[in-house]
Structure 1
């Protein structure tokens, strides 16, 4: 006897609710073929396809569910998520706004909207949604963690700490929360969590996520109390756990860097898209890119768009490459002979509507240093600013940071010497860009900005072709959300405590120093102004 379609639909919903995506998809797609168009059936099929990363199919099914029942905010929210996963933030935000305008107290729907807004860098909207979710399900560790993250982006550190404590009360094994809490502020001996976290670490066994997060949290809190040998020991252990299974080799990146430099276009100014709107801030992560972004974005004519993936996505699509990685040998080889004007236009359009509110916008994805030659060809009037920092501090700060685990950009950062070798590759690439495009990229030394903020702030604003505004010196008053590893620090005035941090670990960093010196890279003088291209270039 053939099973009643209503029973099959109920089984599809049950499979969806227990995250059995393949079963849910199979049941729903059978129903799509067997019964008249039904919004709920298409919704189940679409969500399952999205979770299985079958994004075109997900969009097709979820669009149908919304057409059949446009009054359902959950249908609209998941369609927005699918468009966000398709790297179409404009469409995703439009749909999310429509869904958010509908009354809903469903935490799953509100959470989906918050994720869309986060991915689209609409952090104020994301914070509002995560806050509502935390109120609706106060005992959900995940909801409290997401709310804490949103509050960190907004500079509400006290609220974030309370949410993280609530997260850990709900689930003491929510390991990421220990690391986030440790990074919120400096914890003195009478107020830290070292003893409790050491006990948890010893009992965590071979749980790689637990060991990674607890060791890195311990490293931070040991550093807070000046126990630097223990801090470094925990740092190495945490990163070692995090790097397991990533199979990183410096040779992989070296081959890619060489291919990018060799294959990058030599295109005249007339070939690109004529727009002066974008300001790209590039460099190694954790080298002052956020500081410079906050200075420039404090100007009344500049919008901070955050760390956009848009240029890499636009280039990947333009090449027709279908490999999993955003930038790899296949994409580099296919990039030859592109229509650079069309690429520049596509990039600008992909940032809308968020970047259309002011005359200029900042794209602060540090790893856009890989795309600098492509950016120069596609957007000949865009400003490009590269941050430099003492290479020893650059290496340590990259090794200390736990970057996005889902991105292969940061595979180098789980081993100290791999990080050092990556710093060398970055240095070679920047020297190659300067040789190929003299005067095109303004290099700025982090130490120079800290030591002479007034002078360098004025030079940065002039380089961007803007009139000076005193607000650029009061960047700590900038209320715009920050979604980078520097989200806590940038709310403060400029401080020098991060300069020469590596000297606290001089003995552990000695192999790095020897490697840099063997490559002819100075390690004690930082990035001196006289070694940089003059700020007047390009103004």
Structure 2
């Protein structure tokens, strides 16, 4: 046997050991072409033909991972698919294929690949997790939850699965469950900066701001370049009335990421600008960027509007304010049909006779008693909640979206029914779920204020589910309300009517009509309080307010500005000051620029 043939056979054996059977097979065939009687080549070829490779070699897998980590997704996908043809029963390859599809945004194909991996290996925790991520990114949250829970069942020490599950719980407004998930994430991964930041957000959603601040600080101590966590620290300090601290944290976020538009906007809400402020030129530079996304454009326009308001540049103020509102309306894709249809359906429901909950059904339930503070946004609801929650028997829960979510669920169910009727069982369920949500607050007070302003739309539902409820309705000069709304950026995807003069005036008119409807339907059940009268005659109005709420007099309600409770709304800084009587006249300084709005409001 020649030295060349020996070398070929040795090479073929090495290839066989490494799992490259096809390459080894071609070498043996080449040897046999030249030496048909070579027994060693015949023997090895026979073994190879009898052996069926069931999994790819490490070298093949390393090649795919190198392409994936280099962001060469199409090549990685092509290579993986080629390997799947050779090894159709290897779950790892389907998991890799799904990961590639996810990276290029082909989530339907990704989901299919992950499901095939799981079918081949039902205990494949990573594939369950990756499938959960794909479902989460396509907003199939219930399916995503099932996948994360399965991954955690198979491998409880799975920090990223706990973290992602917590994010979904936050999105589904279940912060108590989110806290548990994030706590598991950091327990298994003590250096998980993102999970600490998310845990802070969950505590903040539960109004536990001191705990939120601790978690955010842990996050930035682990990752000192975590701009988002610094921004969240700023938001927490703002809610706690720690304005100087808030400014420092927002500035830290911007120092890390000068293009962080949301941090610029948040900073603009807590500082007073001078002409020489360097942040102004930075924001203008950001706005000139051609690649700026719509959300960042909106943030910067609203921030620059605040700058020019501080500098008394009214024309520039409205240039940026009008543009920010225009972009926000487009972003939310808002139509007046949205609220007009809802209000029409609600009127129809409550124009018919509906059941009321009997007292005998309420025995043994959660004893928390809510006070609902409603009205138009920017009408003074935060001020009234600050006054009432300064009473030692009351806890101020700020804006709770629970009633809105529960009633929208009822409305959705009714839309598929022939009759627009609600049963006593529905109201009892609503009552139970709402009171259950209040138990998330770890507090001793029996009375809780809920000041979601737009609950004015759901007064019929509230009084049907809570016949004993106290409802406080804020009334204020329409021009003051609507001007304050127009210059305000609302977080979340609601209030789409707030970003256009015509829409704003139309919604205000609809609000008045619906409140008149509720007053006629529930006489003496809604307590109206004038913001202007409250600021002029604070003591008498406060006495009457507390009396209506069945609360004894407390001097602390007059000194509401000393209340240290956290306030999440835009009025956080105002309610930490004594009552100011001139705020309802501030719109007049801008009268020339908001004439169309004022004219539209005259019809109401």
For the criterion TM > 0.5, the same-fold answer is yes
Of 525, 538, 551 in structure 2, the residue corresponding to residue 453 of structure 1 is: 538
In structure 2, C-alpha distance between the alignment counterparts of 1:502 and 1:192, rounded to whole Å: 29
Q: What do the CA deviations read for 1:409-440 (whole angstroms, capped 9, x no partner)? A: 31111112211221111111111111111111
CA 313–71 in structure 1, closer or farther in 2 if over 3 Å, else same? same
CA 100–311 in structure 1, closer or farther in 2 if over 3 Å, else same? farther
1:358 alignment counterpart = 445
Q: How far is the alpha carbon of 1:503 from its aligned partner?
A: 0.2
TM-score, structure 2 length as denominator? 0.76
**Matched ranges for 1:465-484 at <5 A:** 465-484=550-569
In structure 2, C-alpha distance between the alignment counterparts of 1:386 and 1:401, rounded to whole Å: 21
In structure 1, C-alpha distance between the alignment counterparts of 2:185 and 2:499, rounded to whole Å: 40
- Does residue 153 (structure 1) correspond to residue 153 (structure 2)? The answer is no
Larger Rg: 2
Q: SS where residue 184 of structure 1 aligns?
A: coil
Q: What do the CA deviations read for 1:260-306 (whole angstroms, capped 9, x no partner)? A: 12322654654477466011111111111111111111222222223
User: Does the CA-based 8 Å contact 2:354-2:422 persist in structure 1?
Assistant: no
User: Does the CA-based 8 Å contact 1:204-1:210 persist in structure 2?
Assistant: no
Give the gaps of 5 or more residues in structure 2.
Answer: 1-85
- Does residue 494 (structure 1) correspond to residue 569 (structure 2)? The answer is no
Q: What do the CA deviations read for 1:67-101 (whole angstroms, capped 9, x no partner)? A: 33334444333323333333434433444455566
1:217 alignment counterpart = 303
Of 393, 413, 437 in structure 2, the residue corresponding to residue 321 of structure 1 is: 413
In structure 2, C-alpha distance between the alignment counterparts of 1:220 and 1:332, rounded to whole Å: 50
**Matched ranges for 1:125-524 at <5 A:** 125-191=211-277, 193-203=279-289, 207-264=293-350, 266-267=353-354, 270-271=357-358, 274=362, 277-318=369-410, 321=413, 336-337=422-423, 339=425, 340-354=427-441, 357-404=444-491, 406-407=492-493, 409-519=494-604
Structure 1 stretch displaced more, 40-49 or 14-23: 14-23
Of 41, 44, 51 in structure 1, the residue corresponding to residue 137 of structure 2 is: 51
| Bigger relative contact order (CA 8 A; separation at least 6) | 1
In structure 1, C-alpha distance between the alignment counterparts of 2:540 and 2:418, rounded to whole Å: 39
- Does residue 105 (structure 1) correspond to residue 197 (structure 2)? The answer is no
Q: How far is the alpha carbon of 1:172 from its aligned partner?
A: 2.4
User: Does the CA-based 8 Å contact 1:321-1:334 persist in structure 2?
Assistant: no
In structure 2, C-alpha distance between the alignment counterparts of 1:226 and 1:195, rounded to whole Å: 17
Q: SS where residue 529 of structure 2 aligns?
A: strand
CA 77–203 in structure 1, closer or farther in 2 if over 3 Å, else same? closer
User: Does the CA-based 8 Å contact 2:431-2:466 persist in structure 1?
Assistant: yes
Count, aligned residues: 511
1:78 alignment counterpart = 164
In structure 2, C-alpha distance between the alignment counterparts of 1:333 and 1:223, rounded to whole Å: 52
Q: How far is the alpha carbon of 1:444 from its aligned partner?
A: 1.5
Q: How far is the alpha carbon of 1:48 from its aligned partner?
A: 3.1
CA 461–68 in structure 1, closer or farther in 2 if over 3 Å, else same? farther
In structure 2, C-alpha distance between the alignment counterparts of 1:80 and 1:280, rounded to whole Å: 29
User: Does the CA-based 8 Å contact 1:84-1:120 persist in structure 2?
Assistant: no
In structure 1, C-alpha distance between the alignment counterparts of 2:418 and 2:270, rounded to whole Å: 39
In structure 2, C-alpha distance between the alignment counterparts of 1:71 and 1:296, rounded to whole Å: 45
In structure 1, C-alpha distance between the alignment counterparts of 2:346 and 2:287, rounded to whole Å: 42
Q: SS where residue 474 of structure 2 aligns?
A: strand
CA 363–263 in structure 1, closer or farther in 2 if over 3 Å, else same? same
CA 487–401 in structure 1, closer or farther in 2 if over 3 Å, else same? same
TM-score, structure 1 length as denominator? 0.85
User: Does the CA-based 8 Å contact 2:304-2:317 persist in structure 1?
Assistant: yes
Q: What do the CA deviations read for 1:345-398 (whole angstroms, capped 9, x no partner)? A: 222113323166321111121111111111010111121111121100111111
Q: SS where residue 583 of structure 2 aligns?
A: coil
User: Does the CA-based 8 Å contact 1:280-1:364 persist in structure 2?
Assistant: yes
In structure 1, C-alpha distance between the alignment counterparts of 2:225 and 2:247, rounded to whole Å: 16
User: Does the CA-based 8 Å contact 2:357-2:465 persist in structure 1?
Assistant: no
In structure 2, C-alpha distance between the alignment counterparts of 1:20 and 1:128, rounded to whole Å: 39
CA 304–102 in structure 1, closer or farther in 2 if over 3 Å, else same? farther
